[in-house]
Structure formats: C-alpha cells, structure tokens
Structure 1
Amino acid sequence: MNGMFLSIDFEDFAHDLKRDLRLWETGPLRIDRLWEGFEAIETFLEAQGGARVTFFCTGVIADQAPDLIAHIASRGHEIACHAHYHDTLDRMEAAEVDRALGRARTALEAAANREVTGFRAPKFRIDKTGPDQYRAVERRFAYDSSLNAGSVAQVAAFRAAMGLSTLRLLPIYRGQAVPGLPPLNLGGSYLKLFPARVADRLVAGAQAAGFTPHVYLHPYEFLSSGAFELTRAELAPLGPRKQLFWLTRQAQWHRVGNAGLPAKLGRLASTLGLGGRLCDNLDAADPLAA
C-alpha cells in the first residue's frame, strides 16, 4: 500500500485554550498568526510538488476570517468541519452538538463557497459510547475522521455499534510504537516530539493493519515562534501555579520539535507520496472499502 494522507486541524490554539480554561467564552482570533500558519503549511506543500490536502477548520474562523477560509479553498484545498468552537463534544447533549455542527458547516460553506462534506471532532472527542452524536454527524456529512483505531476490525465493530448507514469512517491509526508507553496516534505532537523511527513504526503499523497512513497536524506545529501561546498576563487569572503549568505545557506544543517538523514530515511525504484531499479519495482513506 503506497501513499499517505495529510490533514490539518486548522484552529486558533490561543482562542481555544482560553475557552477551555474559562478565561473567556470567545474573543478575537489571532488572524495574522493563522495566516502565518497557513503560509508555512503551504510552503511545505509546495515543496512536495504542490500537494492539496484537507483542512478541518473551526467555524469561528469562518465567522471572523472568512477571507482566510476562502483563500485556503481557492488554493485547491478541501475545507472540512472541525465544529464551531474547539469544544469537547462528548460533554455536550446530542441536540447541542447538532446545532453546533449546523452552525459551523453553514459558516464554512459561506466562506469557502464550497460544499463541506467532512468532519473531525476537536481532540477526537465525540461520544463513542452511544450513537446519538454520530447520528448528528451522519445527517450533515459524508465522512468522519474522529476515530482513532488500530485495526480494520475495530473500525467495522464501531461502525456497526453506532448503526451508521451512509457515513464513511476515515480513522487516524493508533498503535504501539514506544515500549512502555500507551499506543500513539499518527500525527500531532507525537510526530514532532519523538524520533523519526517512531513515525516509521506507526506508518508500518498502519500499513500492516490495512490503513493508508493518515497524518494529522496543526498550524502551530509548523511554526516555532510561539505565535499561538498565551502570555503570562493572559494566564494570570488562573493563579501562579496554574499559570506556570500552562506556560510550561505550551512550550511542548509550540516550540519543542517544531523547527524539525518540516524535514521529518517531508521525509515521510517523499517516501510515501501525499494522497491528496480526503473528499477525493474516500475509498483509499476508508479501511472498510478495501
């Protein structure tokens, strides 16, 4: 099996962390930094021959920066949905999830002037214990990429348990790659923090399991300037201990390993080849289609 998919969870980390920490409900995005992140991603893709990929975008970006969403779409990339706010959906009622998905899809389609057919839950957090939230996803989208799985059998069992009939499942592979650690996802911080051989093991595991390798990343991982970090002043309402914790935690996401990410990702892409937009390659990205 050849090729790999790259998808981007396109979100404003600073806005979303402030919301997670209850420092605000919402506020202005760091729009200049989002543009900077997209340009870094586009520079990487141009070096891979101008590959086009899928961007899972939050709806709040479409509300506050519709020109950015329009620009990403105009460059030939797929605009998919990453909910409206970057909230953990499994803490919400199904009706609230349905409303949030409808709001986000409407905003994204208006900004992109394209149909939005794909969805990924923020942090992959959607209720997987019952079908109600997945039914809301199935009503609005053609495919979902919110599942982490290690085998085709696991994907098939989950699809049956959720009672899905039309929704395609495009999972991110999760496998054992570092002795003594829990299974890791193929992408995100794991890709930049661990040595290249760990990514190689995850890719090999995905292929052996019958998955086309699918790497997910974020715009802040393509930058090493800390452009999306919250400052001491922004974290001050949390108190000194939590302030220090989040200052330290952010460094892991925004600085450690970021400078080397393009080379590490580029090696994978040059070896495997990039498979393009998910919406154009549903059979290749869906392990149940084989």
Structure 2
Amino acid sequence: MMHNALSVDVEDWFQVGAFERTIDRSDWEGLTHRVERNTDAVLDLFAQAGVTATFFTLGWVAERYPALMRRIAEAGHEVASHGYDHARVFTFTPEQFRADLRKARAILEDASGQKVSGYRAPSFSIDPRTPWAHPILAEEGYAYSSSVAPIRHDHYGWPDSPRFAWKPVAGSDLLELPVTTAKLGQRTLAAGGGGFFRLLPYGFSRWAIRQVNGQAQRPAIIYFHPWEIDPDQPRVAGAPLRSRVRHYTNLSVMARKLRRLTQDFAWTRVDALIAQEAARAA
C-alpha cells in the first residue's frame, strides 16, 4: 500500500491568511488562544488512528507553547517550519526571508529537540514572485519545501509548477513537494486538503487521492489546520463575507472526515517520502 503524507499547519484561528487584513498582528497576544488545545486534539486523533504526520508550525506558536512542541515530537511526528508569524514570503526581501527562516527554526528546534529540515511557506506563498526563496532554503540547509500549490486561486498559486516533487535549485538536493492536485480532463483541481477538504464532499478527496496514487503512482500530500476541528472558535464579524464562509463552513464535520481519511489511506510524515520522491523528481 502506498503511503501518503499527512501534514498540519499549526497556527491559531486569528493567524490565517483570510483574516490578515482584518486582525492586526499587534492584537494577537490579547486574543483567545486555542492553538494548544486544538493541536492536542489533533494529536489524540492521530494517536487513535495510529498515524504519524508533519506539523508545520509557526515560530510564534512554538515560542509560547514549547511543551506542545515536545509532545508533538515525543509522539513520533515531524516538527517543521511554517515561518515565524505567517507573513507571506512575497512580502519579504530576500534578507528578511532568511532572517525569518533562521528565527523560526531556532525556536522550533529549541522547543522540540528535533532538527528542522522541512519548510512550508504561509499561504503557499512561494511563487514566480520569489525566485530567491528556494535558493535561500537550500543555502540554509533545508532538505525540502512543501510551499507550492500548482493551481490558480485568488489567494495563492503557481499553476506552471510541476504537480509532483521537483528540484528547484540546480546543483542542490533541495526538494519541492507541492500539495496535491487532481486532473479532470485538462483542468488541474486543488485537492491538497485544507478548505477544499473541509468544504467539498469527502468523496471528492477520496477520488483525488486514489487518482494520484493509482494513475500517477505518486503519494498525495494533504494538509489541514488545528482550528479546522474547532467549531467553537470566536467569530470575526468584520471579515469579508467570502473569508467567513471559507473559514467557518463545516468546522463541525472536519474531525469526522479526518478520521475517515486516516482509515481509508496509509499515512506518514513528509520527511519519510524524501528519498523516494527525490529519485523521481524532475
């Protein structure tokens, strides 16, 4: 049976891209923090299912909840970087990006006791605007990035990216592992998890993963956020309607869908796929 990669983008309900223009970073500290309880609930769900995963974690979160990082590591999961405070990569200069990488990694490694070798850009914000991002990741010693969504989307996307693992830096072993997409005729469909998994019928995700595993003979890379299993989180009344619909729809069914997902497919950490995917990378 093929193993797919399950990943969790560890950030709190107020740190998401959908609310970045509504909630100011200076207000984060005073808001109700729910990331620890929600991530612990994810850890319990994974323990019951007997799966391991990769937790792409904000340095901001690890700084405040170091014991949570230790629990993730001690449960056999991979701790990887999601940057420090969810700033999109294309908002940085190259020097600022390098500084953000170093800051987040130092915090994550200190808190978890694990070496951090993986990175996921907030909101999949490595794209044609950031030609320096992958070379800097390679220079900083990262083994892989999972920062590209090879789709068209109003918030992110690099539709011309390869759909599966590729090497973005000549002469480097750095691997880019895009989140999963499916094909419907000539159309490339987002199928990597997150809001697409939560909002669409479960059957769509099952079909997409089976297509990737069967027709393409490649592992799927799926992600979600701890806040997606928290229907009781605060509501942001001032956010745009589209953002509120995307963020709050189907929160109450997400945990049940995740349990089904863990039963229907075999799962592992992202770093467990590196050697296999490097051999097939473009």
When normalised by structure 1's length, the TM-score is: 0.81
> For the structure 1 residues 168 and 31, does the alpha-carbon distance in structure 2 shift closer, same or farther, using more than 3 Å as the test?
farther
Partner AA of 1:223 in structure 2: D
> For the structure 1 residues 264 and 166, does the alpha-carbon distance in structure 2 shift closer, same or farther, using more than 3 Å as the test?
same
Q: Does 1:267 align with 2:274?
A: no
Distance in 2 (CA, whole Å) between partners of 1:23 and 1:265 is 28
Match for residue 247 of structure 2? 253
Q: Does 1:92 align with 2:96?
A: no
> For the structure 1 residues 174 and 266, does the alpha-carbon distance in structure 2 shift closer, same or farther, using more than 3 Å as the test?
same
Q: Percent identity?
A: 24
Q: Deviations over 1:28-70 (max 9, x none)?
A: 1767511221122122212212x22110001111222222222
> For the structure 1 residues 169 and 245, does the alpha-carbon distance in structure 2 shift closer, same or farther, using more than 3 Å as the test?
closer
Q: Deviations over 1:214-235 (max 9, x none)?
A: 210000112211x2543x4xxx
SS in 2 for 1:183: strand
| Aligned ranges 1:5-24 → 2 under 5 Å | 5-16=5-16, 20-21=20-21, 23-24=23-24
Deviates more, 1:95-104 or 1:68-77: 68-77
Q: Deviations over 1:102-146 (max 9, x none)?
A: 111011111112111100001111243553111111122111111
| Aligned ranges 1:46-195 → 2 under 5 Å | 46-49=47-50, 51-129=51-129, 131-140=131-140, 141-149=142-150, 154=162, 159=167, 162-163=169-170, 165-176=172-183, 183-195=189-201
Q: Deviations over 1:165-185 (max 9, x none)?
A: 1212222112246x9987213
> For the structure 1 residues 251 and 43, does the alpha-carbon distance in structure 2 shift closer, same or farther, using more than 3 Å as the test?
farther
Q: Which runs of 5+ in 1 are unaligned?
A: 233-242
> For the structure 1 residues 157 and 198, does the alpha-carbon distance in structure 2 shift closer, same or farther, using more than 3 Å as the test?
closer
Among candidates 195, 200, 211, match of residue 205 of structure 1: 211
Distance in 2 (CA, whole Å) between partners of 1:18 and 1:7 is 20
Match for residue 280 of structure 1? 272
Asked if 2 retains the 8 angstrom alpha-carbon contact of 1:97 and 1:133, the reply is: yes
> For the structure 1 residues 129 and 175, does the alpha-carbon distance in structure 2 shift closer, same or farther, using more than 3 Å as the test?
farther
> For the structure 1 residues 23 and 186, does the alpha-carbon distance in structure 2 shift closer, same or farther, using more than 3 Å as the test?
closer
Distance in 1 (CA, whole Å) between partners of 2:226 and 2:78 is 15
Structure with the higher fraction of residues in helix conformation:
1
When normalised by structure 2's length, the TM-score is: 0.83
SS in 1 for 2:240: helix
> For the structure 1 residues 281 and 176, does the alpha-carbon distance in structure 2 shift closer, same or farther, using more than 3 Å as the test?
closer
Shift of 1:252: 3.2
Distance in 2 (CA, whole Å) between partners of 1:11 and 1:127 is 21
How many pairs were matched up? 271
Q: Please say which structure displays the higher CA radius of gyration.
A: 1
Q: Deviations over 1:194-233 (max 9, x none)?
A: 11221122113322223201210000112211x2543x4x
Deviates more, 1:257-266 or 1:85-94: 257-266
Distance in 1 (CA, whole Å) between partners of 2:165 and 2:49 is 36
Asked if 2 retains the 8 angstrom alpha-carbon contact of 1:283 and 1:289, the reply is: no
